[in-house]
Structures are given as structure tokens and as C-alpha cells.
Chain A
């Protein structure tokens, strides 16, 4: 047993559900007790207009006693008729996995009566987390449909005429994924490369048989898609690029890698003038590094924490592009620790691998950096310690699903990141100066007008109640109550009078 207050990565089935809900017309059926279908937050966080394609086959007391029997199968066939999905993914949860029911058998039996394909998500809840599970599930689905196409002799192995790419690993509830995807489309359009498939975001499983037509694969994020790209490399000899296209320097590496892949395939291109052009004129980030604003950031202390993709990319930007000192950089993706160390060890003083947020909080307090770049958790730690924080990675809140265009990837992404970094630091500076010079001059004047000059007496009980009212409405409540008491010729304010005043004010 482990005492835990908070976790960076969710349970495995969330990963499976994120993959399922990314595809078009794929339905997930969770074998889970009531309340485990909390994936509904998808419709909240992403403000989705569609119902999340997730149903629970509820595990209740009866299931414990007699087993699921026909229940799971009935739920699958029912969903098959109601929604006519292309694929149903039976998703075990931590509860169902210890029941040791033969879910594979249910899948086989349900297949007879369903038009949809049915697979059982192959993830162990006690060994993998959300991110690993999504990586595995994506591979499972891709491999399933490529095998199927192979058996039906439907695999189209002929490469597209023009260079083309599969983008693998854009999934629902990903950090700024939708914006990143747009930016990638723009980038490939500029490079005159067609996008063959975006996997899995919004595609139908029937399109997966066209995967081998692409010249190469791109895995923009470290967490999801790596397994699939490796599999495609081994099975179909499709090369892949897994350089994360975040930050000016990384972007150049990334585009050069594409160039190399294309040249190796016998297609001669030279992107160097494009890189030059974009770096100088589209991205403001390179100029920003030269500007006097950025000079002021030289040697400022920062710490970075997040998933391996974003934490590594931001660490490199801070250190190599903005001459900020990254005291330590860390990730909660413990399974990917080796890769992460390799990536960032030259860009920071120390590498931290941990998924314990209290440990991270202690480290931040100890380091006392000028700014933090982390997840929502680090933002809250920063609030407590009065250190500004820019959010650069999941786990996130609804405010990290912005309506406006906010990519992290690509040249526009470099602008967004530069703003994020610069704003975090200046805010910190401003705060500091305010403290040195005695704060905003408005503070004093507002508080003096707020202090009531009335001579109304408050009994202790009522006064105590008053202090419990949230600060931002307390004065209003106080004023209204006193006015009520004054109007009714009352000398002392008791609890009863407070409540009566509330009712009177509503009238």
C-alpha cells in the first residue's frame, strides 16, 4: 500500500478510453462498477458536443456473486445495434481485472452476434498507467486492422506519389493536441508533404489499411505512438521520426531529419532556406532571444516538471534558447526515465524522476526558483510559495483547453512558448518590485473606504459567522446587514438578524 494524495498519470483504462474516443465510430464498453465511468469529463474538459462513446457494463453485487454471465455480451450486442460502431473495445478496469472473468471469451462470443469488430484492451492495471496504456491500445488496434487487411488481401503497399506522412499519437484530452495538429498540418503543407493519415484523431478504423502508403511516420509526442511506429518500422519498413518539434532548435533538427528521410527514399529536397526563413520571420522566438527583454532573463533560475515530451522540450528551450538556468528538470514518466535523462542532462544541473508530488513540492521549496514550468500541480505549489508558474504539461484543468489557437508545436508554437515563459518571469519581477516599493498604492485607499464607520454592534456569534463568509462578499454582507438593522431600528446584530437580512435582501 502506498499513501497517495494525488497522481500525475491516471489509471490504465483512461488511456484505453482516450484512444477509443479519439477514433471515429469506436465505442468502448467498460467492465466497471458504478461511478468508474468518470471518463465523462471528456465532455466537460474538451467541451465536446457529442456524447462520449463510452458505456459501462456495470459490475454490481450480482456480478460478484454469479459472474457477469451474459451481461457483458448483451451490452456489447446492444451497443452494436444502437450505435453501429465499427469497433467495440471491451475495457477492463482495476476492479474487473481482479475478478478474473474470462473477458476474452465474452469478446469471442459477442463477435458472433455483432457486426462490429470487438477486441479486448490488453492492459494490466497494476503495471501500466494511463499513458503506457494508450500507447499499447493504439498499437493493438493498428495491428488488428493491418492483420485483418492482410488476411483479406486489402493492404495497399504502394507508396503515394508525392511524399506523405502518418502523424501518430494525437489523442483526445491531450495537452493542446488539437492546436498542435493544426500547426503540423500547416508545417507539412509548407514542406510540400501530404498527410496520409492522422492516427487516431478522428479517423475511421477502416482507413488504417492505408497506413503503409505513407513514406514515413511521425511521432510528435513521446508518450503515445512510439510502440505503433516501431511496429510499423519492423513490419513494413516505414521509417519514423520521433524528434519532438517544439522549440526553434528542435524544429530545425526535426525538419532536417525529414529531409534526410526523403532523400533516402530517393526524393531530393533542400529545406534549409525554409528553416532559415521560418526561424527569422515566422517565429519571433529567435529574435526574442537576442532582444533586451530576454537578456534580462540570463541566469534566472527555473525548474521544469511534466510529461517527458513537454518537460524535455521546455528544458531545452529555456537553457539553449533563452540562457535561463534550469536548476532541475524532471518527469513523472518513470517508465521513460532513461530517455529523459539522455535528453535533458546537458541542459540542466540535475535530473529528477518522480511521481510523488510532495517530493516535487519539497524540491521546489528548497530550490526557490524564479519561475516554475510544470503541470497544474506545480502551479498550485507555486501559488503557495509565491513563485510564478507556466503550465506546460498534463495533468491540466479546463483552462488548459483554450478556445484560442495555442499550439506548442511548430513555429507558431515557439511564439506561444516564448510568451508563456516571458510572462511568467515578468510577473514574478513585478511582484518583487511591488514588494520592495510597498505594494500597489490602491491597496491602502481601497481598504480605508472598505472599513466601515458605522457604530453598529455585532454579537460575537454573528461576528464569527461573518468571518466565515468568503472575503470577496463579506463587506457587502456586512453592509447589507447593518443597513437592515438600521432600517429596523435594531441596536445589536445577532445571528438571527443576519439571516433575516439575507432573506430581506432577496425579496
Chain B
């Protein structure tokens, strides 16, 4: 496949789909950040040694900190149905209840439970009644989903558990309709965004997920919901269809431009005139100048593995970069509509080419294109980082964007901290050619 270096601007975004032969994390990895977020939870991953091995390697040090998650490791007897699923799960869950006393147990279904058709959704309510702990089932498997979509399956399941108290027994502290934000963020970042909205007179009535299962937000029909991350389409759908909530479709609060657009959209829904929002955005851009000057005119190639790609690409284009290719595991054009529009606008404003969006990319073909295009930076997984560096191509591990605080005005710098790191490394290592 040949691909010539081109920077003339294309009129619209183009979408392509390849073979789906790409590296990404298994969606069960979501337990690593969700168990930390939901403090009274326990995550039980029902799968094989392969799942366990992945988790223990991907999570590195965290595994040693007595995590509130474990494998229910399936043995040959489970596969061949010589053992009874219900009895086996009951035994393990009772043990968890006794050792950890969680307020909720999440069952994470895996490829194996799919293939042997273990009826987790059927078993859970019965067992829940018997052992008296809520059991939430999420099928976060590698047959259907990639990496961050794991969180989506968990939150979609959790959305069903949010209480629905009637409006009149609740004291509405706000003068606008209740607003629930969905998406798991570190508490610090969640607080920063809450304060940001509060400065415009908007208060968030709840977060999905909350820090504790017992504090899940109240969601009534007609309440407004808004997503914080681009990979939460199932959760959005569930909130709309099952909970009859109204979804606010906005760009995601990643980068100062995204954060401004996110707040602006919420304000417009509540008929509030945001005050000083553009000034605030500009001030943040000013603080980023030392980093954006490094990025100006540089090119970037997203291999695609965590669904944050559109938002990050949009922010980096606003920083002056050129995006050659935007690989992404899965593209929900409806849920990401506003983000895609902002991407187009940003490209026009910066007068750069619209990136090609490649859904389900083929890593082998991508490496070919990278070879031809020689981008200044490739955002990629661990599989390709060292080999690409050895070939003189700068890389940044994409996984870091999932674990670093990147949302809101205050954390914009953290994103650029990551993106500019290889460039800063190069500036301080002028003789990097020696490899």
C-alpha cells in the first residue's frame, strides 16, 4: 500500500475500516481503575489463566496492594460443565463476602464465559438474593470490545442500578434540571470539573460511577446526562433508553478547547450565558505556550487502541500539529458527533488536512504507512514502541493517556507533558542517532 505525504486539506473527514488486526488491552483491564474508583466494590473476573496473566502483567505494581479484585479461574470441570456454575460462584462470592465485606460484587464476563454460554445475568439475581449482596454483571470481553470499552460495559450495567426516587421527596438544590455526569475519573479531576461548572452556576447532582456503590446517583426520566469520555456509548444508550434521561452531546473535556466546548454546551442546554469562559480558555493556552511551540508543524500518527484518539487528535491539531492518521478501535459517530464536528472545525481553523479515520486498523499496514510517512510522533501501544524507537521514530505509549489525569482546563498541561516528552528527550539527547 502506498501513501504519499500530503498536507493539502481534504474537504471532509474520511472514514475507513481495516481488518481489526491490532494490539490493544483486553477490556477486563477496566477493573484496575474501577476498583480504585468505586471504593466499596469487589471485581470478580470470571475467566481463565490467560485473563489473570494479562491483568497481573498490565497492572504491574498495583497487583501487590491487596487489590479488591480477583480471578474466578475456570478449570477443566467448569468448561465441561461437570461443576455447577451456580454452586461454584456461590462458594467464591461467600468467601469474598466474608473476607472483604464489599457493598457490591461485579462479575466481569470474559471470552470463555461467552463461549461456554455461562448464564451470568441469569445466575446473578438468584445469588444476589441468597447471599444478600448486589451483583452487577458486565460482559467486558475481547470478543466484542477493546480496552476502555470495558468501562462502558460496567457503567452501562451500573446505570440500571441507580436509584429512582421521585422528584418531590428530593430537595432540588439547583435552579436547573438535574445533571448527571457519567464516566470514571479520579476524584481530584472530578472535583476540578465540578468546580469549573459551579463557577457558571451549574451543579452536578451526581456522578456515574460514584466513589461508593451505595451513593449511586438518583436518575429520573427527563434528567440530563453528559459523558466525560468518548468510549461510553453503551452507557449513553442505556441512560437514554432505559432510564429515559436526556443525553447532552458535546465534545469531551480534553484539552482547553474541549473543556470550553463541553462547558459551553452544558450552559446552552440550561440557557445559561457562560461568563469569562473564553478568557479562561485563552489563559490556559497561554500557559501551554512553551509546549505548543515544540509541537507546531509536527506530525502525529495515532495507531489507535483506546478510543480517546479523536479528542486527543483534535486537541493536538489545535496545538498546531498535523494528524496523518487517526486509528481507532470503534467509532460511534452518533455519540461522538459533537467531537467529530469540533475536529472538522479545528482542522479548518488551523488550515491543516483532515485526518483519515481508520476504524479497526491493521497494525501491519499501519507500520507500512508509518515507514512511508515518517511522522514526528507515533502514539502507540507497548508492542510497537521500542521497535519503532529503534527505527528512529518517536513514540508515546498510548496507555498513559488512559491513566494520566487529562480532563479539564487544569490538566491540559499533563497531556502535553506526555506528548512533548519524546521531543524534549530528543532536544536533550542530540546524538540520539547512535541506535
Contact (Cβ within 8 A) B20 A58: yes
Taking the nearest CB of chain B, how far is it from the CB of A448, in angstroms? 29
**Residues from chain A with Cβ under 8 Å of B27 in the complex:** 35
Q: How far is the CB of A242 from chain B (nearest CB, A)?
A: 27
Which residues of chain A are near B383, meaning CB under 8 Å?
37, 40, 43, 51-52
Determine the chain A residues whose CB is within 8 A of the CB of B188 once the complex forms: 465, 468
Minimum Cβ distance to chain A for residue B194 (Å): 10
Quick one: closest B residue to A78, CB to CB? B364
Contact mask for chain B residues 47-69; partner A; CB cutoff 8 A; 1 contact, 0 none: 01110111011101001100101
Q: Is A7's CB under 8 angstroms from B52's CB? A: yes
Which chain B residues border A56 with CB–CB below 8 Å?
Answer: 21
CA–CA, A94 to B390, complex, Å?
A: 33
- Looking at the complex, which one of A36, A37, A503 makes contact with B409 (CB distance below 8 Å)? A503
**Complex: A7 Cα to B409 Cα, angstroms:** 41
Chain B residues with Cβ under 8 A from A441's Cβ? none
Asked if A152 is at the interface (CB within 8 A of a chain B CB), the reply is no
List B residues 44-91 near A (Cβ within 8 Å): 46, 48-50, 52-54, 56-58, 60, 63-64, 67, 69-76, 78-79, 83, 88-89, 91
* Residue in A7, A52, A60 whose CB lies within 8 Å of B53: A7
In the assembled complex, the CB of B110 is this many whole angstroms from the nearest CB of chain A, namely 8
Docked complex Cα distance between A502 and B195 (Å): 14
Chain A residues with Cβ below 8 Å from B76 are 126-127
User: Which residue of A10, A44, A95 is within 8 Å of B112 (Cβ)?
Assistant: A95
Which residues of chain A come closer than 8 Å to B56, judged between CB atoms? 6-7
Tell me if A380 counts as interface (CB < 8 A to partner B).
yes
The answer to whether residues A41 and B382 also contact, given A7-B56, A126-B79 and a CB cut-off of 8 A, is yes
> Is A125 a contact partner of B48 (Cβ separation < 8 A)?
yes
Query: B169 on the interface (CB 8 Å rule)?
Result: no
For A10, the chain B residues whose CB sits under 8 A away are 49, 53
A372 to B23 Cα, complex, angstroms: 37
As a 0/1 sequence over residues 109 to 123 of chain A, the CB contacts with chain B under 8 angstroms (1 = contact) are 000000000000000
Q: Are B387 and A51 in contact (CB under 8 A)?
A: yes
Q: Is there contact, CB below 8 Å, between B71 and A5?
A: yes
Contact A95 B26, CB 8 Å, known A38-B53, A465-B188, A495-B195:
no
Say yes or no: B112 contacts A49, CB within 8 Å: no
Q: Pick the residue among B20, B24, B95 that contacts A3 (CB under 8 A).
A: B95
The answer to the question of A487 belonging to the interface, with a C-beta cut-off of 8 Å to chain B, is no
User: Contact partner of A49 among B24, B88, B387, CB < 8 A?
Assistant: B387
B46 → A minimal CB distance (Å): 8
From B49, B50, B64, B88, contact of A380 by CB (8 A): B64
Of B141-149, B171-179, B230-238, the one contacting chain A is B141-149
Instruction: Tell whether, in the assembled complex, residue B49 and residue A64 are in contact, meaning their CB atoms are under 8 Å apart.
Output: no
Complex CA gap A495/B188 in Å reads: 10
Q: Which listed residue (A55, A60, A125, A503) contacts B287, Cβ 8 A?
A: A503
In the complex, the chain B residue whose C-beta lies closest to that of A74 is B19
CB distance from A140 to the nearest CB of B (A): 20
Q: Across the interface, do A36 and B74 meet the contact criterion of CB distance under 8 Å?
A: no
Closest to B367 in A: A51
B409 touches A94 (CB 8 A): no
Q: Which of A28-77 contact B (CB under 8 A)?
A: 32-38, 40-41, 43-44, 47-52, 55-56, 58-61, 64, 75
Q: Which of B366-420 contact A (CB under 8 A)?
A: 367, 381-387, 390, 409-410, 413
Kindly list chain A residues whose C-beta atoms are within 8 Å of the C-beta of B26.
33-36, 38
Residues of the A chain whose Cβ atoms lie less than 8 Å from the Cβ of B21: 55-56, 58, 75
Asked whether B52 lies within 8 Å of A4 as measured between CB atoms, the reply is yes
Residue of B nearest to A10 (CB): B53
Q: A5-B71, A34-B142, A56-B21 are in contact. Are A49 and B78 (CB under 8 A)?
A: no
Interface size on A (CB < 8 Å)?
58
Cα–Cα, bound, A35→B399 (Å):
13
Contacts A5-B70, A51-B387 given: A38-B54 contact, CB under 8 Å? yes
What separation, in Å, do the CA atoms of A258 and B146 have in the docked complex? 53
Residue of A nearest to B411 (CB): A502
**Of B20, B63, B192, B383, which is in contact with the most chain A CB atoms at under 10 Å from its CB?**
B383
Would you call B121 an interface residue if the criterion is a C-beta within 8 Å of the partner chain's C-beta atoms? no
When the two chains form their complex, are residues B386 and A47 in contact, meaning their CB atoms are under 8 A apart?
yes
Q: Which residues of B contact A502 (CB under 8 A)?
A: 410
A26 to chain B, nearest CB (A): 17
**Bound Cα distance A468, B405 (Å):** 14
For A43, what are the chain B residues with a Cβ–Cβ distance below 8 Å?
382-387
Complex: A13 Cα to B54 Cα, angstroms: 12
The verdict on B111 contacting chain A, using a C-beta distance below 8 Å, is: yes
| Least Cβ–Cβ distance between B414 and chain A, in angstroms | 10
In whole angstroms, what is the CA distance A64 to B367 when docked?
A: 29
Within 8 A of A (CB), among B261-286: 283-284, 286
Contact string against A for B residues 132-160, beta-carbon threshold 8 Å, 1 for contact and 0 otherwise: 00000000011111110000000000000
How far does the alpha carbon of A377 sit from the alpha carbon of B35 in the complex, in Å?
Answer: 21
A60–B63 touching, CB < 8 Å: no
In Å, the complex CA distance between A496 and B280 comes to 14
A33 & B143 in contact (Cβ 8 Å cutoff): yes
C-alpha spacing A70/B281, complex, angstroms: 53
Whether A449 sits at the interface, judged by CB under 8 Å, is no
Supposing A35-B24, A36-B54, A59-B143 touch, asked if A125 and B49 sit within 8 A by C-beta, the answer is: yes
- Interface status of B13 (Cβ within 8 A of chain A): no
Tell me whether A98 and B95 are in contact (CB under 8 A): no
Q: Which residue of A lies closest to B417 (CB)?
A: A506
Report how far A468 CA is from B189 CA in the complex, Å.
Answer: 12
B48 touches A503 (CB 8 A): no
Please state if A35 and B75 are interface contacts (CB–CB under 8 Å). Answer: no
Contacts of B111 in A (CB 8 A): 33, 59, 95
Q: In the assembly, what is the distance between CA of A32 and CA of B26, in Å?
A: 11
A363 at the interface (CB under 8 A from B): no
- Interface bits A144-179 vs B (CB < 8 Å: 1, else 0): 000000000000000000000000000000000000
3 tightest CB-CB pairs across the interface, nearest first?
A35-B26, A40-B383, A33-B142
20 A–B pairs (Cβ distance < 8 Å), ordered by A: A1-B83, A7-B56, A11-B49, A11-B50, A33-B142, A34-B26, A40-B23, A47-B386, A51-B383, A55-B21, A55-B364, A93-B50, A95-B50, A95-B115, A98-B112, A98-B115, A126-B75, A127-B76, A496-B195, A506-B287
Residue positions of B touching A, CB distance < 8 A: 20-21, 23-28, 46, 48-50, 52-54, 56-58, 60, 63-64, 67, 69-76, 78-79, 83, 88-89, 91-92, 95-96, 111-112, 114-116, 141-147, 187-188, 191-192, 195, 283-284, 286-287, 364, 367, 381-387, 390, 409-410, 413, 435
A residues engaging B (CB < 8 A)?
Answer: 1-7, 10-11, 13-14, 32-38, 40-41, 43-44, 47-52, 55-56, 58-61, 64, 75, 82, 93-95, 98-99, 125-127, 129, 377, 380, 397, 465, 468, 495-496, 499, 502-503, 506-507
